[in-house]
Amino acid sequence: MNSEPVDPPETTERRVKSYSLPTELAEYVERKAGRRGASAYISNLIAADRHRDLVRQELAEFGYTGDLAITDEGRARARRRLDRHAASKAARSGRQAA
């Protein structure tokens, strides 16, 4: 899954809510959010989580259940495979440039 933030549409109606976080998490959010602000950062995290849920739901509707279900272990295996491929490609590219 792409790690790019899933931005909610700017025309989305907003509701002001207040949530409590442990101090350590609140400080982490503030550091990660930077200039865009904590609300935008948290909104992007929730939108990405909702997107993942919708993708999982669609995959299940198309029969990706049981042995074909998307699992944490399967995602980790796929990530390792993609990382090895990217490293191999970078190594080949570096040799060709030399």
Query: Consecutive 10-residue runs of the chain (98 residues): their mean pLDDT?
Result: 54 85 95 93 95 89 77 84 92 77
Residue 45 CB burial class (10 angstroms; 0-12, 13-18, ≥19): middle
Check: CB of residue 21 under 8 Å from CB of residue 33: no
Q: Is the pTM of this model over 0.85?
A: no
